[in-house]
Amino acid sequence: MASDLERPTLPSLGKEGKPSGEIRGAQEPLLNGVHGTDGYSIIAAIFPFLFPALGGLLYGYDIGATSCSTISIALPTLSGTSWYNLSSVEIGLISSGSLYGALIGSAIAFNVADFLGRRRELVVAALLYFVGAIITALAPNFPVMVIGRLVFGIGIGLTMHSAPIYIAETAPSQIRGQLISLKEFFIVLGMVGGYGVGSLLVDSVAGWRYMYGASTPVAVIMGIGTWWLPASPRWILLRAIQGKGNIQDLRETAIHCLQRLRGPTIGNSASEHVDEILAELSYVGEEKEVTLGEIFHGKCLKALLIGGGLVLFQQITGQPSVLYYAASIFQSAGFSAASDATRVSILLGLLKLIMTGAAVLVIDRLGRRPLLLGGVSGMVISLFLLGSYYIFLDNAPVVAVSALLFYVGCYQLSFGPIGWLMISEVFPLRLRGRGLSIAVLVNFGANALVTFAFSPLKVLLGAGILFYIFGAIAVASLFFIFFVIPETKGLTLEEIEAKCL
């Protein structure tokens, strides 16, 4: 551990021990390269966003491609294998294998993420994406294919943990919301791409192999790109104030990384920004390494409540059911064209893409809370309309289809991008690695539970009652958002910790 003599002189503290320049508002955020008082370089922000976001693209692609590959692999004339006669359980393992792998990846991230750092975790995730896709595409039998799906899924878990953290810690405050929401846009873009590639290859012999193999070039680009990126300056400074290395050397490294992230806009002020962050981290107590017990107390517990609650409601308000069972909803509504599941999926994917793009454009202007409250209110209306269709309005299929599309659009304006955004914002820096891994674990666990439980509950209760239950849960989520979720628009990550927790 570094001695006190190795610690740099931090900026002078003002009243109540706060750094003299702290806490800045949205017009002069920390880690912002400036043109005047609030400028930043869009060009410099592209690559620190793009390469981590490719991990989200691959996650979405896997969802889309798998929906088509499970059709291809089970057809005796097109599977290209002698083991095509798979049971429903085995098909389910192929579909959900990456989801269970993501759960494993989230658990791994809890223990190793802070040691590896955000950038190296992304590199490992890219490697797992590549290896998992190769194993799956070349699988000589079913067990090997499941192993490949699990390996790919571990890459998903690590990516969905590290990508939002890296983007949040390196993005200018004015566009942090847009960039992290744009990562959700990349996930949906990947889904549409997966559906498109799948629809082109579904009639080819062994087409499922090419569907999975097609993701490998993107994994290579992601791995090389993230290796080239600088480490997160905030992660470096966290290690510095916790004594994990020579603090002067780590401070110089953070300055160098900040200069690379901001480009010429940072000018000669990088060292000033770094010292201000060091002072702020010391002020909010980040020099103490978080313990397992501390995660569930004080501001750490509040951050877990905000982040974990958001991603839990994100799933248990029915999103996985609508996503995975949309084709059957269209079919039950009497639309014969919906028998082509790929076309239905592409239609919904394009709608999700458009609405996510809309959220990206307005999220840093309107704020998180207005979009959450408005979007979830729309989801409530949609879910009760879907429930009413199955119970009272079965002669009006347009109601079900309209409600389904409205639900998807409202979800993509609210829970879809903002859930991932806020879990990357609200956790204190020293808790961010472990806290976000818990939130991601909750997300994928709830996703798996809702996806698994939908079909038996639909048989037991009926679709109408089930959608009413989802609607009631969505109403509860509105109260949670109104009373618990803070507004983080325009605040630096340090300000969020100081003001919102």
Question: What digits encode the pLDDT tens for the residues 129-147?
Answer: 999 999 999 999 999 999 9
Does one domain contain both 219 and 297?
A: no
With cut-offs at 50, 70 and 90, classify the pLDDT of residue 15.
very low
| 206, 228, 250 - which closes a domain | 228
pLDDT of residue 178: 87
Question: What's the one-letter identity of residue 306?
Answer: I
For the segment 302-354, what is each residue's pLDDT rounded down to a tens digit? Answer: 889 999 999 999 999 988 776 655 665 666 655 554 445 556 667 788 898 99
For the segment 163-209, what is each residue's pLDDT rounded down to a tens digit? Answer: 999 998 888 877 888 888 888 899 999 988 998 898 888 888 899 99
Q: Is 397 part of a structural domain of the chain?
A: yes
CA pseudo-torsion sign 383, 388, 389, 390: positive
Whether the upstream peptide bond of residue 23 has omega within 30° of 0, thus cis, is: yes
Q: Is 33 part of a structural domain of the chain?
A: no
Does one domain contain both 299 and 404?
A: yes
Predicted confidence (pLDDT) at residue 487 exceeds the cutoff of 80: yes
Q: Residue 426 is encoded by which pair of tokens?
A: 């609200």
pLDDT of residue 186: 94
Is residue 288 classed exposed, middle or buried when 0-12, 13-18 and 19+ CB atoms within 10 A define those classes?
Answer: exposed
With cut-offs at 50, 70 and 90, classify the pLDDT of residue 19.
very low
| 195, 228, 261 - which closes a domain | 228
Q: Is 182 part of a structural domain of the chain?
A: yes
**CB contact burial 232-244 (16+ within 10 A = b; e otherwise):** bbbbbbbbbbbbb
Does one domain contain both 201 and 349?
A: no
3 state DSSP class of 19: strand
349: domain CATH number is 1.20.1250.20
Does one domain contain both 208 and 298?
A: no
Phi-psi region of 323 (alpha: psi -120 to 50; beta: other; left: phi over 0): alpha
Does one domain contain both 348 and 440?
A: yes
pLDDT: is 417 or 322 the higher one? 417
pLDDT: is 6 or 363 the higher one? 363
Q: What is the DSSP string of 81-145?
A: SS-----HHHHHHHHHHHHHHHHHHHHHHHHHHHHH-HHHHHHHHHHHHHHHHHHHHT-SSHHHH
Nearest to 470 by CA among 275, 254, 269, 319: 319
Does one domain contain both 62 and 207?
A: yes
Q: Residue 284 is encoded by which pair of tokens?
A: 């909010």
Q: Is 242 part of a structural domain of the chain?
A: no
Average pLDDT over residues 93-109: 90
Q: Is 262 part of a structural domain of the chain?
A: no
Does one domain contain both 218 and 309?
A: no
Q: Is 489 part of a structural domain of the chain?
A: yes
For the segment 52-76, what is each residue's pLDDT rounded down to a tens digit? Answer: 999 999 999 998 888 888 888 888 8
Torsion of CA 180, 186, 188, 192, to 10 degrees: 170
pLDDT of residue 326: 64
Q: Is 338 part of a structural domain of the chain?
A: yes
Q: Is 261 part of a structural domain of the chain?
A: no
Nearest to 379 by CA among 420, 318, 331: 318
Residue 306 · residue 328 · CB < 8 Å: no
The structural domain count of the chain equals 2
Does one domain contain both 357 and 217?
A: no
| 187, 204, 228 - which closes a domain | 228
pLDDT of residue 328: 59
Predicted confidence (pLDDT) at residue 1 exceeds the cutoff of 60: no
pTM, two decimals, is 0.81
Q: How far apart are CA 342 and CA 121, in angstroms?
A: 34
**Segments forming the whole domain that contains residue 472:** 293-500
